[in-house]
Amino acid sequence: MTEPQPNILPFPGVAARNPARIEGAEDPIVITGIGIGASLGASREEVWQGIQSGRSGVRLTRNSDRIGSLRLPCGMVDWLDDDPYSLKSIRITEHVSAEALADADLPWQSLDRNRFACSLSAQFGDIGYMYLPADSRDAQPLRSDGHRWWDQFLPCSVSTIISEQFDLRGPRLCHTTACASGLISTIAAARMIQDDQADFALCGAADTVAEMVIAAFNRLGVLSPGPDPASACRPFDTARNGFVMGEGAAMLVLEKRSTAIARGAKIYAELAAFQTLCQAHHVTGLDGEAETLIHLLKQLTRKAGWEEIGPQYINAHGTGTEQNDRSELTGVRAAFGDRADDILMSSNKGVLGHLVNAAGSIELALTAMALRDGYAPPTMHLTSPEATGNIDCLAEWGEHFELDRALKLSLAFGGHLVGVALQRCPLAEHRRPSQPLIEQARVRGRKSAPLRRVA
């Protein structure tokens, strides 16, 4: 006998399966749950507080990291219990997925699991078995959940295991678009909800430092050797000398605004618009004139309805490499002209490292938290700003103000350019309550000064 399926959610806008409208506006996709884990901490608030204080999670790699003899600055996750038989990226994703789903406060008893989508980026598969003698591979102990190494080998292994663990039986997608993967996963999840394939989606990405990957980047000459590990990555600084790799994950819960309101959920931010383009220039190089990025920024602001006002804050890709930094600065100035004088821009990679596949996810999650608390975080280790574009990159000090509109950008290898526009929910009573900044937060001017509005 077939097990009866739970009833679908008894919420307006879900049961009707029609594009609901609130106060005459199209029903947007919103973020109602966030989970984050990275070198700065094992929870979203711990990581966010580390970002506020400017604390760096970067250190030199060591033998216990199991990535070979390389000694390079990396933002390593140290809070996770070691398990030689379980892929680290899976364990991190399990942890942050549980946090995101709990944060969304979902009514599990009435959910239709067949309409809960899962969109996670691909990860570097488990190749540990290659180092084992052939006659001992099949004898490798099971993970606590019963998985062996071959369950962790495929790029989609994390997506598969997470959807199984949380019984998410809706559409499942897994993308690999280099360091744009996290944003692409979010966009794909939003589209599945817009297309009425799902009511909810868990989306995001995880990444860890793998020996083969860090060795390849090191051979390319794009990794910073230091000299001080904690400040090795210096986005938008003339003294930059490469990026540092990082570990971690971020997961988001998405749904329609009408669904969130009907069930009494609080909203971090709305996805006002998103855009993907291909630079079609070079596998690892960027167009110095930033023509495609300029087009992407103009398309984003047009779709979001921000042509006359633009974003207030941009969370940049900001790798700390000369080509990336100059391309972003050039693109922002050209796209917004004189209005770029009022835009604040910063990068989180100076303290987190570059999480590659997961970079877009964790930085989008932090941008949503920036909207919640009205705080544009600093670009740490920026002491000699790059003159290109003359953009305010929040050198070592953040800004506390009434933040309503923000962009998140990813400029990835392979020419993948992706942007997501976030805005605060216009219905104040349905917003996530803002949290006070910590005492150690790096804020320009006196912390007790009134919040200022950036035009």
Q: Which residue did the predictor score with more confidence, 229 or 148?
A: 229
Domain positions in the chain: 26-262, 273-426
Query: What is the DSSP track for 380-438?
Result: TT--SB--GGG-B--BS-BEEB---EEEEEEE-GGGEEEEEEEE--SSGGGBPPP-PPP
User: Which pLDDT band, with edges at 50, 70 and 90, does 287 fall under?
Assistant: low
Of 2-16, 36-50, 126-140, the least confident: 2-16
**Distance between CA atoms of 297 and 335, rounded to whole angstroms?**
6
Specify the pLDDT at position 121: 83
What number is the average pLDDT over the span 230-257?
A: 95
Question: Can 26-262 and 273-426 be said to share one CATH topology?
Answer: yes
Mean per-residue pLDDT over the chain, rounded: 85
The CATH number corresponding to 26-262 among 3.40.47.10, 1.10.3720.10, 3.30.1490.20, 3.30.460.10 equals 3.40.47.10
Report the SS3 class of residue 18.
Answer: coil
Alpha helices in 197-338 (DSSP H): 211-220, 257-262, 291-304, 322-336
Q: Which helix (H) or strand (E) covers residue 269, if one does?
A: strand 269-278
Looking at this protein, which amino acid is placed at residue 417? Answer: L
Give the contacts of 403 (CB within 8 A, at least 6 positions apart). Answer: 312, 313, 370, 371, 374, 375, 376, 424, 454
Specify the pLDDT at position 11: 41
Tokens of 436: 């006070």
Query: Model confidence over 318-339: pLDDT tens digits?
Result: 998 888 899 999 999 999 999 9
| pLDDT exceeds 60 at position 211 | yes
Contact 391/326 with Cβ under 8 angstroms? no
Superfamily covering domain 273-426: Thiolase/Chalcone synthase (3.40.47.10)
Tokens of 117: 């989508």
**Distance between CA atoms of 303 and 300, rounded to whole angstroms?**
5
